[in-house]
Amino acid sequence: MDYKNAICVLPDNLITAIQQHIDGEYLYIPRKGENKKAWGELKNSKQLYAKRNAVIFEEYNGGMTVKELSNKYFLSPKTVYKILSSMKNNK
């Protein structure tokens, strides 16, 4: 998300109107519904986590314990259990 200076992009009368509600603070303006992007769409995070989770599932099925997996991937055991449950349900 980029920050823009309102003075550079908004007309003076609109800035004055906004200042009546919030003065000198950051204001988040959400995207229009049709311009929203899904989580992980910009940096391929969704695909990276899906690959990692598949590897975790394979390693678990290969005999690694939840504790070993949580230490290896720097995740809590609860998160590993959630990943394993999710992968079992998707198969």
pLDDT tens track for 4-62 = 899 999 999 999 999 999 988 988 888 888 888 777 677 788 889 999 999 999 999 99
Six token digits for residue 69? 């997996």
Residue 83 reports pLDDT greater than 80: yes
Q: Read off the pTM.
A: 0.59
Which of 79, 88, 86 has the alpha carbon at shortest distance from 61?
88
How far apart, in whole angstroms, are the C-alpha atoms of residue 54 and residue 48?
10
Return the pLDDT at 10.
94
| Distance, CA of 54 to CA of 88 (rounded, Å) | 10
* φ/ψ of residue 69, rounded to 5: -65, -40
